[in-house]
Amino acid sequence: MRVVEEANRAPIRGLKPELKRVTIHGHEIRYRIAGSGPVVLMLHGMASNSETWAHVAPELAREYTVVAPDLLGHGDTAKPVTEYSLGAQANMLRDLLAVLGYERATFIGHSFGGGVAMQLAYQYPDRCERLVLVGSGGLGQEVNALLRMLTLPGAEYVFPLFCSRGLRDTGNRIADWVTRRGLRPSPVATEIWRGYSSLADAEGRSAFFRTLRGVIDPEGQAVSAWDRFYLTSEVPTLIVWGNEDTIIPVAHAHAAHRAIPNSRLHLFHETGHYPHCEMPETFVDVLTEFIGTSKPACHTESDWHELLTNHQPSTDGYDPGVRAE
């Protein structure tokens, strides 16, 4: 494993995260890093990349070491012909933390990244200090109808008609023209366009459909964390959601809050699927307050063995719309 710096200086507190790369198992992983102090690992959603945290990372870097990777198959990270399951992503992140020299971190995941964060916490509990779920997947069956439609057979062959390099480049030129005239797209529009743009290339589309079909099918979300909530009983957990989320309904946040022991819930009003982009200052305040007032989990092998052997999943607050993995 080797780390290659994109710049010649180390991360500086309060500045824009630097883009770096590391080669792990022969695949190049890109990540952004800034700050010092306790480590926060920030995981983006499907068809997105680490830039999604640009509105909050510089401020968080004043108090924490912010590490925001492009997940496997996303952004500038490698897109090999391989599996893109939650478990595979968790393994890559475990190795990334190891090569960077970080033993433990607070895991923060948005949407698909929330599912990855939970999987990482379950697979490697000794590395998880806290868990923050932002509009997270894996907490219920319901999901936006478009995502369900894209899992249908043959969707990957039709999709290029609506998302090609030519259309992407035309859109970029229009966006540049508008920006030069003093108008800026909203944070939500920027996130949507980022996702669209990432699918204009065949390599990105292939990775996207592999990722999508690993967690969603025509009926909705196909994986669930409900049967493992009891494993987070000693992990401080914050659930963050926009109450107008049209991708994953806010009902999932309420149900998970009832089911996850000692969890906290913060709802952003008049906010959709991207609270960290739509209300970044409040997001930073909520996250900083949570980290500052919660004691990091410290699981040992014996702790984990005791949980797995002597405790059973609780069905209290169980949402019948959630399917087991």
Cα 104 to the chain's mean position, in Å? 17
Q: Is 269 a catalytic residue?
A: no
Q: Is 85 a catalytic residue?
A: no
Flag whether 15 is in a domain: yes
CB 303 within 8 A of CB 211: no
Flag whether 212 is in a domain: no
What percentage of the chain reaches a pLDDT higher than 70? 78
Flag whether 322 is in a domain: no
The residues, any chain, with a CB within 8 Å of residue 12's CB and separated by 6 or more, are 34
Q: Provide the domain count of the chain.
A: 1
Question: Which pLDDT score, from 0 to 100, does residue 317 have?
Answer: 46
Question: Which pLDDT score, from 0 to 100, does residue 155 have?
Answer: 80
Residue of 273, 276, 299, 319 with catalytic role: 273
Question: Which pLDDT score, from 0 to 100, does residue 228 have?
Answer: 86
Question: What is the C-alpha radius of gyration for the chain, rounded to an integer number of angstroms?
Answer: 19
Closest CA to 164 of 194, 205, 192, 210: 205
Distance (Å, whole) CA 183 – CA 12: 31
Check which CATH number belongs to the domain holding 51 and give it.
3.40.50.1820
Question: Which pLDDT score, from 0 to 100, does residue 294 have?
Answer: 97
Residue of 44, 48, 74, 111 with catalytic role: 111
Flag whether 24 is in a domain: yes
Question: Which pLDDT score, from 0 to 100, does residue 192 have?
Answer: 73
Distance (Å, whole) CA 272 – CA 18: 28
Q: Which residues of the chain have pLDDT under 50?
A: 1-13, 164, 166-172, 174-175, 177-178, 315-325
Kindly tell me the burial class for residue 324, based on how many C-beta atoms sit within 10 Å of its own C-beta (0-12, 13-18, 19 or more).
Answer: exposed
Flag whether 248 is in a domain: yes
Which residue's structure tokens are 């607050």?
317
Domain of residue 292: give its range. Answer: 2-142+223-310
Flag whether 135 is in a domain: yes
CB 33 within 8 A of CB 61: no
Residue of 74, 198, 245, 257 with catalytic role: 245
Q: Is 273 a catalytic residue?
A: yes
> What digits encode the pLDDT tens for the residues 92-113?
999 999 999 999 999 999 999 9
Flag whether 208 is in a domain: no
Flag whether 7 is in a domain: yes
